[in-house]
């Protein structure tokens, strides 16, 4: 029996060493991804704090807390620790609360594409509609930020069979949808290879806190344990650790107070690891392992 396969990349075990080290001989690259999302009122998808009917005032307001309050508290912490950020931005944020993007641009952070809104999933689109959505959100970010985003995370990490092809054709260098490795992976598309940069589904506050109801202190411990284990492993190769955060979840004061200690723990070891952005990881990997010829 032959199972269906995506045909985007072959199997590669961890023992197959690809690249020995990141810049300056670092073995571990760490990046923080903050998801800035806007949701339609009274319709569409959205994470839920509790079941509610439409118009869903409870859950809309809970998520909006992240844009009005949580994002700003998180940025204060990252400023104090001098930590770079990859901001994953719904393009609708630019119409709703562009001050958030302004703050990231002022910090010199990377702005990556995250669709138009998390009130929709691109997996629900046909190819023409998905292409139009990617183009619309990309052009909106490019116009506002002065340059097009190089990386993409799909809303709800939802893809169609054509998504990597459409992203490469739209000018993207890397995507974050896949969580299959601790190293970047070149993916085949009908245009040219696109790089998959590891994005976490474990060290991610939505699956951990919102779905599994993991206590915040336990989530902070998970983050530090993941960091320490990857840092201390003796494998002679370059690995990646992503940390995925949403302001309406970890921007809550009681959670941020507990997570700050984990951020401080990681920042204190910046001389041992490469704390950077997802885009810088993709750029470095391209020189360490150039894309396969097509």
Mean pLDDT within 151-160: 97
pLDDT for the residue 293? 79
Are 114 and 36 contacting, i.e. CB atoms less than 8 angstroms apart? yes
Mean pLDDT within 64-91: 98
Distance (Å, rounded) from C-alpha 244 to C-alpha 256? Answer: 14
Distance (Å, rounded) from C-alpha 148 to C-alpha 146? Answer: 7
Residue 279 scores a pLDDT above 60: yes
pLDDT for the residue 44? 79
Measure the CA angle with vertex 235, ends 232 and 236; round to 5°.
115
Distance (Å, rounded) from C-alpha 154 to C-alpha 213? Answer: 24
Residue 234 scores a pLDDT above 80: no
Chain segment 23-48, per-residue pLDDT in tens:
999 999 999 999 999 999 998 788 88
Confidence category of residue 64, pLDDT binned at 50, 70, 90: very high
Chain segment 243-268, per-residue pLDDT in tens:
999 999 999 999 999 999 999 999 99
Distance (Å, rounded) from C-alpha 201 to C-alpha 214? Answer: 13
pLDDT for the residue 287? 95
Confidence category of residue 273, pLDDT binned at 50, 70, 90: very high
Are 71 and 247 contacting, i.e. CB atoms less than 8 angstroms apart? yes
Extents of the domains making up the chain? 23-44+51-288
pLDDT for the residue 86? 99
Chain segment 91-139, per-residue pLDDT in tens:
999 999 999 999 999 999 999 999 999 999 999 999 999 999 999 999 9
pLDDT for the residue 235? 73
Mean pLDDT within 163-179: 98
- Whole-number mean pLDDT of the chain? 96
pLDDT for the residue 48? 87
Residue 294 scores a pLDDT above 60: no
Distance (Å, rounded) from C-alpha 85 to C-alpha 108? Answer: 9
pLDDT for the residue 53? 87
CA-based nearest residue to 235, from 14, 25, 12 = 14
Query: Which of the 8 DSSP states describes residue 9?
Result: S
pLDDT for the residue 236? 84
Chain segment 187-233, per-residue pLDDT in tens:
999 999 999 999 999 999 999 999 999 999 999 999 999 999 999 98
pLDDT for the residue 47? 85
pLDDT for the residue 110? 98
> Number of C-alpha atoms within 13 angstroms, CB side, residue 102?
7
Domain boundaries 23-44+51-288, CATH class = alpha beta
Question: What is the sign, positive or negative, of the torsion defined by CA atoms of 121, 249, 102, 227?
Answer: negative
């Amino acid at each position: 029996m032959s199972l269906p396969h995506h045909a985007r990349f072959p199997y590669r075990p961890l023992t197959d060493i690809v690249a020995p080290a990141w810049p300056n001989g670092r073995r571990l690259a760490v990046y923080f991804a903050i998801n800035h999302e806007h949701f339609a009122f009274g319709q569409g998808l959205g994470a839920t704090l509790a079941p509610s009917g439409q118009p869903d005032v409870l859950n809309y307001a809970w998520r909006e807390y992240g844009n009005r309050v949580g994002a700003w508290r998180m940025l204060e912490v990252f400023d104090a620790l001098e930590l770079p950020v990859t901001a994953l931005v719904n393009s609708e944020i630019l119409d709703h609360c562009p001050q958030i993007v302004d703050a990231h641009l002022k910090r010199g952070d990377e702005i990556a594409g995250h669709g138009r809104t998390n009130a929709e999933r691109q997996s629900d689109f046909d190819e023409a509609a998905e292409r139009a959505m990617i183009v619309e959100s990309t052009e909106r970010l490019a116009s506002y930020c002065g340059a097009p985003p190089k990386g993409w995370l799909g809303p709800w990490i939802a893809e169609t069979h054509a998504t990597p092809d459409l992203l490469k054709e739209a000018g993207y260098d890397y995507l974050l949808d896949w969580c299959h490795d601790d190293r970047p992976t070149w993916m085949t598309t009908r245009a040219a290879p696109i790089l998959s940069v590891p994005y976490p589904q474990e060290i991610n506050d939505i699956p951990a806190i919102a779905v599994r109801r993991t206590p915040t202190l336990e989530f902070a411990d998970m983050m530090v344990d993941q960091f320490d284990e990857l840092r201390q492993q003796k494998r002679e190769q370059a690995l990646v650790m992503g940390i995925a955060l949403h302001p309406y979840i970890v921007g809550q004061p009681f959670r941020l107070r507990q997570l700050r200690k984990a951020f401080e723990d990681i920042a204190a070891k910046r001389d041992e690891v490469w704390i950077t952005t997802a885009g810088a990881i993709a750029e470095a990997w391209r020189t360490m392992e150039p894309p396969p010829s097509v």
